[in-house]
Amino acid sequence: MRRETQVPAWFAEGLMFVGNWEPLAFRRRAGLAAVDEEAIYTREHRPETLRRLRALGVNLIITHFHKGFGLAAEREEIAGAAALVRDARALGLHVGAYLRVDAIAYETYLDEVPQAVDWFQRDAAGGIATYDGQEFRRLVCPQHPEYVQRVEDLVRLAAGDVGFDLIHLDGFSWGTATPCRCQACAAGFRAFLQARYPDAASRVARFGHPRVEAMEIPLAAPGREHVVRDPLRQEWLDFRSARFEDIHRRLAAAAKACSPAVAVTFNTMVPIEENGRERCGVSLPAMAPRNDAFWTESHNDPRLDGDGRVVSRVREYKYAEALDNVCFSYVKGPGRDQVRRSFAEVLAFNGGHAGMIGSPLLDEGPFAGDLASWAAFYRRWRSTLYAGTESAAQVAVLRHPRTLMLDSGEPYRSAHLLEQLLIEAGIPFRLICADGPLRLPPDLRLLVLPGVSCLEEPEAAVITAFVRRGGGLLLTGDTSLRDSWYRLRADYLLRELLGPDVPCPRPGMRSFQDPIFGQVDERARRVPGLTFHHAGDGRVVYAVRVDGPAGARAGERYPWRSPADAERWLAAARWAAGPLDVEVRAPHGVLVEVRRLRAPAEGYRVHLVNLVPSPWRDGIVVSWRSPAVPRHPGGAFEAPPRSRDPGAAAGPWRVRLYSPDGEETASGTDLTPVPTAGGAGETAWEVVVPVLDTYTVVSVDAAVLAAG
């Protein structure tokens, strides 16, 4: 992804932060205040609290600025936030300003801005949309320019006059999947259609007739798993996300105009499990080039359930890294072990940032000791283990934005199952999810296309060239069979890679595309299971569908387990990819991430997170090949069997273990890599990790670097 703004330089410190963004007025009005809430609030803002945070290694606090009560109602608390900024800056702490975008507390806001009564989102019956469970907060329609101007003024006040280092836009979405049908939306949507289809010919081609001025906003959002075929609903989704992209561009420009060092972040749903453009009306990939971080508030706390399900936020972290953003998440849990697993996961997968570890009153929490020791580990070893690294994954999954907007069913389910296969097998992978031209990493070995039906010609050309040059491809379902309007093509765009044996599904009755007439689909009969073949110098695996595991919970959309026949799927992925530069053999319930040092340095950082309550001993093997080994030559490659060569030299590597878990896994422990011999020209090494409690990093450094 190509950025349009620079990431603030102070992000290079590595972010570990706390937050107290709810003002006292909100805590009371929402019924969330404790008996001694005012005393708690006062302690959060004291200079001695900030000094303790700085001593722990915290470098950012996100605090309250504007919750939606209005400037007049929040004036006193805004003054308190400004004082906190001054005190924090004196200690070297950065401070972020919290701004709520989607809702206002109308009971006080209308006193200050009476015309805001016309800004609320309306349903088809004219009713006012409210924040779920808090009727005193009404959702505002972003189509009203006066409201957007007031939000921009707040951004300038926070970033300019008060001097915050970060602007956090919470509720940065339409707030509901139900279409707003206020007059401003109706007029704005028609103007959008008229601008996009300016003449009768383009309107007829899109809608069958030219009368866009007669079109109305679609009614209530459809169910969770569906296909958006109606061209008007497709345009409505584009309209909503385009509006928020414009607002984000405007607010980011306002913040950066105050100082390029101001960070811009927002909170909306990370579209890993649901259709974000339909549910929230925003496109994260479209806003990411001007954004620095976004939140995940999913319930996917890392854990191994009793029935073997591996639950994690791995996808959310990878989604952020794919968009060159940081993922803000909570280090939390109901018990000590869960807190440690949560901390371990964010350190392993969040690109060197530690996330939010609690409120400013960290030392008053039940897990203060663990948080302090893990924070100390992070700060002590950040430059050694986290700084200057990048993903070493040679497998990528394409989360195609257009496909995922138009089909909320099979592409999400297939992506989840195949990503889960990689997670459980300990195979690091990237996500590719950016808008714009498709760009593949230069060292990619395997590209996974899970039901990516709406590929366009330039994307298909990039993928075809990748496979011709020796890349591996695993694709499923209708990949490349439809265009960006979800129209059925006469043939797959990737026909060259699929080969001649995969038939195209066709309408059951010619001239009728309606699903009620059914489809003639012979793929399951003619190409059952997984098919394997060569294309150019590359290897291709295709399957009509990805079946979920047996015994999935009733009504469960995502089983958090690998697909049925997982071993065959895994063998297919390994066949298509060929050997990877770094491979990890680990038991079920161990999460694996591999980072490499950025050039010119040479080495790896292998992160291991144990979701099992007890430690693993001698059960994990990390192996790597010298970067000098030739790249996977595709179809001509046959992996030679590896055998130990006891007489080989110790090699040019220094391997060390680092862990915050305790004395048994003391940081800085040296391991001796064992050389393994394979085919001609291959040099490989491996180490056995003696113990994994909760979190261990295996550092592999070239001898020259290690000596330096």
Angstrom distance (rounded) from CA 62 to CA 169? 11
Phi, psi of 629 (to 5 degrees): -65, 135
How many angstroms separate the CA atoms of 113 and 26, rounded? 19
The rounded distance, in Å, linking the Cα atoms of 633 and 440 is 17
pLDDT, tens digit, 9 for 90 and up, residues 258-272: 999 999 999 998 999
DSSP symbols for 549-585: PTTPPTT-S--SSPPTTHHHHHHHHHHHH---SEEEE
Whole-angstrom Cα distance, residue 105 to residue 140? Answer: 10
User: What DSSP element (H or E) covers 82?
Assistant: helix 75-90
Q: Is pLDDT at 648 greater than 50 in this prediction?
A: no
In total, the chain counts a number of residues equal to: 708
Q: Would you tell me the crossing angle of helices 231-258 and 183-196 to the nearest 10 degrees? A: 100
pLDDT for residue 625: 86
Residue 43, SS3 per DSSP: helix
What are the tokens at 391? 């993903």
**pLDDT of res. 632:** 41
SS3 content of the chain, % helix, strand, coil (to 5): 35, 25, 40
Of residues 459, 544, 462, the one with CA closest to residue 498: 544
Among 40-49, 386-395, 555-564, name the one with the lowest average pLDDT. 555-564
Helix (H, G, I), strand (E, B) or coil at 248: helix
Contacts of 655 (CB under 8 A, 6+ apart): 670, 671, 672, 673, 687, 698, 699, 700, 701
How many CB atoms sit inside 10 A of residue 307's CB?
11
Nearest to 470 by CA among 580, 594, 626, 633: 633
Q: Is the pLDDT of residue 135 over 80?
A: yes
Q: What are 297-331's pLDDT values in tens digits?
A: 999 999 999 889 999 999 999 999 999 999 999 99
Gap between the Cα atoms of 302 and 312, Å rounded? 4
Residue 454: HSE in the Cβ half-sphere, 13 Å Cα cutoff? 19
pLDDT for position 142: 96
- Within 10 A of 47 (CB to CB), how many other CB atoms are there? 14
Residue 30 pLDDT grade (very low, low, confident, very high; cuts 50, 70, 90): very high
Q: What does the block give as tokens for 530?
A: 């997984």
3-class secondary structure, 96: strand
Confidence of residue 649 (pLDDT cuts 50, 70, 90): very low
Q: For residue 706, what pLDDT is reported?
A: 52
CA distance linking residue 525 with residue 581, whole number of Å: 37
Helix axes 368-385, 47-56, angle to 10 degrees: 50
Q: What is the pLDDT of residue 645?
A: 40
Q: Which amino acid is at 361?
A: L
What's the burial of 241, exposed, middle or buried (CB within 10 Å: 0-12/13-18/19+)? buried
72-86, 409-423, 547-561, 682-696, range with the lowest pLDDT: 547-561
Residue 198 pLDDT greater than 50, yes or no: yes
Q: What is the mean pLDDT of residues 57-64?
A: 98
Cα–Cα distance list, 24 to 49, 233, 513, 543 (Å): 18, 41, 57, 55
Question: What is the 8-class DSSP label of residue 129?
Answer: P
The more confidently predicted of residues 446 and 274 is: 446
- Cα distance between residue 447 and residue 415, in whole Å: 12
491: Cα separation from own chain's centroid: 32
pLDDT in tens, 501-542: 999 988 776 656 666 667 788 999 999 999 999 999 999 999
SS3 364: helix
pLDDT of res. 651? 57
Report which of residues 154 and 175 the model is more confident about: 154
On the 0-12 / 13-18 / 19+ scale of CB atoms within 10 A, 672 is exposed
Please choose, from the candidates 438, 439, 431, the residue with its C-alpha nearest in 3D space to the C-alpha of residue 322: 431
The distance in angstroms from the start CA to the end CA of the chain is: 34
Residue 17's DSSP bridge partners are 60, 356
Amino acid in position 21? W
Residue 222's pLDDT band (cuts 50, 70, 90): low
**What is the arithmetic mean of pLDDT over 281-295?**
96
